[in-house]
């Protein structure tokens, strides 16, 4: 892992993986470029790369994005649309 990466708790990691597998939308709170953001997203993948863990997701506008898991401040599942 990179020196500044802080792994998230296993239970949260498992919930994210489950959301990917079941295509469960999330209300995601994360920090992007120093700003706290709240978005409805569809998680697409959880992976490990360059010593950190990442979440790839699709925003409501259709754009895909990837963030490090340690930038996530919180999340909860939303009912399917």
- pLDDT one-digit tens code per residue, 16-74: 999 999 999 999 999 988 999 999 999 999 999 989 999 999 999 999 999 999 999 99
The residue with tokens 């489950």 is 18
Separation of alpha carbons 68 and 57, rounded Å: 11
Q: Could you give the 3-state DSSP secondary structure of residue 64?
A: strand
Q: Report CA-CA distances (Å) from 46 to 8, 34, 73.
A: 12, 22, 16
Q: Distance (Å, rounded) from C-alpha 21 to C-alpha 5?
A: 25
Residue 81: per-residue pLDDT? 64
Residue 79 — very low, low, confident or very high, per pLDDT cuts 50/70/90?
confident
pLDDT attached to residue 3: 57
This prediction's pTM: 0.90
Measured between alpha carbons, how far is 73 from 28 in angstroms, rounded to an integer? 8
**Measured between alpha carbons, how far is 70 from 55 in angstroms, rounded to an integer?**
10
Could you state, in order of their start, the residue ranges of all structural domains in the chain? 10-52+61-77
Give yes or no for residue 12 having a pLDDT over 90.
yes
């Amino acid at each position: 892992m990179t020196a500044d990466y802080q792994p998230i708790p296993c239970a949260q990691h498992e919930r994210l993986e489950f959301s990917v597998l079941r295509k469960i939308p999330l209300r995601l709170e994360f920090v992007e470029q120093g700003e706290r953001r709240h978005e409805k997203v569809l998680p697409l993948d959880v992976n490990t790369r360059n010593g950190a863990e990442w979440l790839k997701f699709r925003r409501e506008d259709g754009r895909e994005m990837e963030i490090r898991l340690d930038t996530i401040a919180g999340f909860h599942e939303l009912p399917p649309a």
